[in-house]
Amino acid sequence: MDPVDLIIFGASGDLSARKLFPALFQLDQAGLLQADLRIAAIARDDISLEVFLEGLRKRMTSYMGDNAPDDEAWAQYSQRIIYSHADFSAVENYGKLKGWLDDKRTSLFYLATPPSLFAPICEHLNSADCLTGDCRIVLEKPIGENLESSRKVNETLAKYFDERSIYRIDHYLGKETVQNLLVLRFANRFVNSQWDQSCIDHVQITVGEVVGIEDRWSYYDKVGQLRDMVQNHLMQLLCLVAMEPPNSLEAESIRDEKVKIVKALRPIDDTTVLDHVVRGQYAQGWSNENVVPGYLEEPGCKSEASDTETFIAIKAHVDNWRWAGVPFYLRTGKRLAEKVTEIIIHYKNLPHNIFGGGASIPNTLIIRLQPNEGIEMTMVSKRQSLKEKLSLQNHTLNLDFRDGNDGDRIPDAYERLFLDAINGDQSLFVGREEIEESWRWCDGLITACKSQGIDTKPYHAGSWGPAKAEILIEKDGRSWHA
Ligand code: BG6
């Protein structure tokens, strides 16, 4: 493998200090970075390398807690880094970068910048002749804000980079447990053979967050929870649950199967939206025993009439042979009662209950992605009792991923994603077609919400969303997993 240079645009931003530099640091500590890997940090601030490094270390330390770098580790890591200040939107600033790049090395350009800079950065890299040799580009979401704008971004990228050199990040795919979903499904025969409409009654995917919009009112108000979380993270989880086995772990095989699922999603239109979508917006409430403001009272609020959703629940259907008649209930929101990401597979009742005492107890498989990563399976067993001959109870088989992990730390998603981008493995990055098809489905849903006046219902911060979200599932005789 050629030696690699990482060029991080937006190096003084929040993402860089919170995720990117700590992830690279952990990889360095684990001996997983090539000894000669170089990092060019590029940002607008006109400061020296020393000042940049000092500020970076301070910020990393505050995010990394016990894992923060000590002096020795920092000295080893920081010698990889150079700093260059530049206004990315001006082509004349790219000459210095050109001088530093080396055609014999792989250049990995990481755009940790606002999306409005994606196109100018690519254009200027090209005009300044920086795109010679093996070049890859890594981008963060959002890739557009609807189908049309995402196409534009993708078209710009395609002018300068081959699809095989474009690494679109959905950080959920880098989470260890999300990758484990593939292993659970495709390395366990008993799971795999029970994974369809003949055995499964319905699927729930919940991504609950305790945080509010965290000083991002201006950004968030334009997107809302559907574009911020469903179009990407929940869609990826749904695809991994619903897709057919890929014929290999090659990026293309996995992407092809995921695209089929997005295309098979039944459109939610004017005739179905009322029964299939609930939108919510948090009002004042409690979080971690503190009173917290409602969305419209958050600092930076610019419109007290905003109807942007901070919560959404959706009943979706995948129209294919495997999933016919199996609803997928999705819900996600800010300022909910708990930070939790979990997928619940509810199996069907057995056709006939020979044990008496009412309905049989259906099995559930709970795949917990965060926190307390693991898998639980509820099994029915006999209560040990002489009085009652055959009384049944639910027992849980518990697989805790924190046990038997090398060390106690579960690696952060960005560690895996950096490693894969460096090694040229695209299987955990999102392909162009997946993104565009996902936007197509979301755009339809958004249009239907607008035309049918599906406005947001208030919910108290610290709750599980508006009461209507309970009704969405309860009217089908089911309930959200508590
Ligand atoms: C980001 C969203 O993509 O994911 C944020 O923009 C959200 O709004 C975050 O809070 C959630 O990520 P995680 O890894 O904390 O579940």
Mutate to test the pocket of ligand 1, among 19, 171, 430 (most ligand atoms within 8 A of CB): 171
Q: Is 122:160 a contact under the CB 8 Å cutoff? A: yes
From ligand 1's centre to the CA of 143, what distance in Å?
Answer: 15
Which pLDDT value is given to residue 54? 97
Catalytic residue among 124, 171, 233, 317: 233
Which pLDDT value is given to residue 353? 83
Mutate to test the pocket of ligand 1, among 222, 228, 369, 372 (most ligand atoms within 8 A of CB): 228
Which pLDDT value is given to residue 358? 64
CATH superfamily assigned to domain 4-140: NAD(P)-binding Rossmann-like Domain (3.40.50.720)
CA-nearest residue, atom 6 of ligand 1: 228
233 given a catalytic annotation: yes
Q: Say if 4-140 and 173-412+431-474 have the same CATH topology.
A: no
Q: Measure the CA angle with vertex 297, ends 292 and 299; round to 5°.
A: 90
**Nearest residue to 466 via CA among 344, 338, 333:** 333
Q: Measure the CA angle with vertex 81, ends 430 and 48; round to 5°.
A: 120
State whether the beta carbon of 209 lies less than 6 angstroms from ligand 1: yes
Computed over every residue of the chain, the mean pLDDT equals: 93
For the record, the structure tokens of 452 come out as 């049918």
Q: What angle, 0 to 180 degrees and rounded to 10, lies between the N-to-C axes of helices 71-78 and 49-64? A: 130
pLDDT per residue as tens digits for the range 140-195: 888 999 999 999 999 999 999 999 999 999 999 999 888 899 999 999 999 999 99
From ligand 1's centre to the CA of 234, what distance in Å?
Answer: 11
Check pLDDT > 60 for residue 118.
yes
pLDDT per residue as tens digits for the range 356-414: 766 677 899 999 998 888 999 998 888 888 887 778 888 899 988 877 665 567 899 99
Q: What kind of fold does domain 173-412+431-474 have according to CATH?
A: Dihydrodipicolinate Reductase; domain 2 (3.30.360)
For the record, the structure tokens of 87 come out as 């206004």
Q: Where are the domains of the chain?
A: 4-140, 173-412+431-474
For the record, the structure tokens of 276 come out as 């299939």
Alpha helices, H only, 193-272? 217-225, 235-242, 251-264
Report the predicted TM-score, pTM, of the whole model to 2 decimal places: 0.95
Which pLDDT value is given to residue 92? 83
Which pLDDT value is given to residue 88? 82
Residue at token pair 């099995």: 363
Which pLDDT value is given to residue 410? 83
Helix (H) / strand (E) containing 22: helix 21-29
DSSP 3-state of 298: coil
